Structure 1
Amino acid sequence: MVTFFEASLGIISVHHVGNPSQGEMYSLSPQPLELKDDVIGPLLLQYFLKPFEKANEVYHLMHSSDDLALNEVHHFTTAVFDDKGKFHEASEQMAKHLYASSTHPNIKGGELYVVYFNNVQIEGELLDAIGIFKSENKETYLKVYPDKGGFAVDYEQDAININKLDKGVLIFNVEKENGYKVVVVDKATGGQEAAVYWKDEFLQLKIRNDSFNQTSNALGVYKNFVTNKLDEEFEMTKADKIDLLNRSMKYFKEKETFDLDEFADEVISNPEAIESFKTFKNSYEEEFDTKIADTFEISDNAVKKQARVYKSVLKLDKNFHIYIHGNKDLIEKGFDDGKAMNYYKVFFNQEA
């Protein structure tokens, strides 16, 4: 859902936010961070953005009063999108707001990074985004280096693992009136009560669990199941897989409402495969913390978007491509002993 192949870093401000209940304070930088090493930029992009490649749920900023102007993060974000010259000042206000939201005794202090990104892609659209990230957990790293013809070992304490982002949020410059498009990462620590502060207290999020999101996720999960999982349990030809994908797309194009049991019976049919699909769906929901409802209204726009990545092409060496759009019973696979080669037999009435 989120990709960053074309993304670039704009401005970065770094502050430290402690826990007021532990007598800790916050510390604000006087100006944005200056990157002096060309290697640091790509590493920061990986650290900040790579975790969002698996973020499927889209949220909106909200306020319990329904007045978005009272959501602090929305207010500061809007100020920056309207005038990038206010970026550092807004980052300071975000640090103060996070400090005020960090009152549970189990919340760890850490560095807060506020970043302006250019050209981050979400749902096929390139947008500017503001990222807010917090690093709470530090690690010790060993360093081995040549020394006097041999090697020496040193270490660095309180270092950050760039493959482990603790907390982060991307706020995209779109749908301002709805609370922007927002995706979030939250590696919760400190127990359930401490865990809610990032999403609920600091950001105040509501999930955009709309028909577009539900439709996209359901089609994506089914595609992954057919292409990556079925081979492990059933003997399937590529033509069979393409047929299953075509049948699922036909279901979503013809129906107005998705029903899991109806979909399973009409599209998958095989009881063992149905059970396997439901297990696969449950595993996906747990891994990505994304609930796919058993029933929801189907979004035509989401179906059209997913149809672009649903492959109906059977590629045979470098000689032939067979496009399968309908009845798989009109194509048969066999093996020619004389040529020692596989073949497909295709039945048709007319040539176009």
Structure 2
Amino acid sequence: MVTFFEASLDKISVHHVGNKSQNEMYALSEASLQLKDELMSSLLMQYFLSPFEKTNEVYHLMHSSGDLKLNELHHFVTQAFVNENQFHEVSEQIAKYLYEVSDHPKIKPGEVYVTCFKQLQIEGELLDAIGVFKSETKETYLKVYPDKGGFNLGYEENAININKLDKGCLIFNTDKESGYKVVVIDNNTRGTEAAVYWKDSFLQLKIRNDSYNQTSNALGIYKNFVTNKIDEDFEMTKADKIDLLNRSMKYFKEKETFDLDEFAGEVIGNEQAIASFKTFKNQYEEEFETPIPDTFDIAANAVKKQARVYKSVLKLDKNFHIYIHGDKDLIEKGFDDGKAMNYYKVYFKEEQ
């Protein structure tokens, strides 16, 4: 989580980056902006920083070769942190580099803002940070103004909604040798490979392997195991699968520490299924090069986020949804020969 009640916007440079594959060019400003309007500074702080208040994932910059020095953003921001007088020059280099990786035909052109913040807080530390943001989506706004004893209407086209940041990242001046601490926003992540160029091509990120991500990954792996893998070895109803997911969520909500053997025994129970889950986990770790230790501290905020995608709904045709929150033994599945249809029988003590 990023907080900015003590932060200040120290420097900002604005450039324009087109789509290289569409033969659109980039345009660079000659100098940084001089912000003398306090309201403008406040609006920019809201636009750039408020989306990060709810971010929990922290990344590091990396390079596929393993040599961090080859990551362009790492090189550029290090220059800016070491010599603040080079800030605008660095902002130009960042804009040019973003242009070079904007080579998918569906990447939208837009303004690029490179900023320097002072006293920005992350994980309890007050740090300097370099921010890189891009506005791609433009909107039309109506304006109402007094006119001849009444009111009139005007409009402004191609304006920016300060409540909708398209893309952004904050690179904090700490953990340099690991790739700095980085948080990222990308609200255009659907569709083609154009959607991932910000994180993968421009920033080149790897997620930090802390308790938050260990918790999130463990829950994600287990969910994929139950929903996609377990059918290969066992015949299970959807109600049974929902029960397995509910039990895993209950474990993570009640425990402070994850222990793989304890989790497997309490939640999965079946020895064959336990062995299958451990194999599935090992395959994930190898494929994504993301080791998850057998024991780690559980991060409550990661559990809360994963709970949103842990579905406990049994959907029956288009007529009924059954929400299963507890004892699966209170729901029975059967088949009615006369109607040639499946049915569920649900036991309860009273209606609410």
Normalising TM by the smaller chain, what interval? 0.5 to 0.7
Structure 1 distance, partners of 2:261, 2:79, is 40
Match of 1:202 in 2: 202
Match of 1:252 in 2: 256
Structure 2 distance, partners of 1:74, 1:194, is 22
Matches within 5 A, 1:159-174: 159-174=159-174
Native 8 Å contact 1:252 1:258 kept in 2: no
Match of 1:10 in 2: 10
Identity rate of aligned residues, in percent?
64
Q: Deviations over 1:270-303 (max 9, x none)?
A: xxxxxxxxxxxxxxxxxxxxxxx9x755556x87
Q: 1:7 Cα shift?
A: 1.1
Q: Deviations over 1:218-263 (max 9, x none)?
A: 99xxxxxxxxxxxxxxxxxxxxxxxxx9x9798326x655966667
User: TM-score by structure 1 length?
Assistant: 0.64
Q: 1:215 Cα shift?
A: 5.0
Please tell me the residue identity of whatever aligns with 1:251. K
Q: Deviations over 1:46-91 (max 9, x none)?
A: 1001111121111110001111111100000111111111111110
Structure 1 distance, partners of 2:12, 2:91, is 9
Task: List alignment gaps of at least 5 residues for structure 1.
Answer: 220-244, 266-292, 307-352
How many residues get paired? Answer: 252
User: TM-score by structure 2 length?
Assistant: 0.64
Match of 1:45 in 2: 45
Match of 1:142 in 2: 142
Structure 1 distance, partners of 2:169, 2:10, is 16
**After the TM superposition, which of the residue ranges 1-10 and 167-176 deviates more from structure 2?**
1-10
Matches within 5 A, 1:9-28: 9-28=9-28
Q: 1:304 to 1:199 in 2, by over 3 A?
A: closer
Match of 1:91 in 2: 91
Structure 2 distance, partners of 1:17, 1:195, is 16
Structure 2 distance, partners of 1:24, 1:190, is 23
Matches within 5 A, 1:1-352: 1-188=1-188, 191-211=191-211, 213-215=213-215, 251-252=255-256, 296-299=293-296
Native 8 Å contact 1:215 1:298 kept in 2: no
Task: List alignment gaps of at least 5 residues for structure 2.
Answer: 220-249, 269-289, 303-352
RMSD between superposed Cα atoms in Å? 3.1
Q: Deviations over 1:146-191 (max 9, x none)?
A: 1111110000000000000000001011110010111100112673
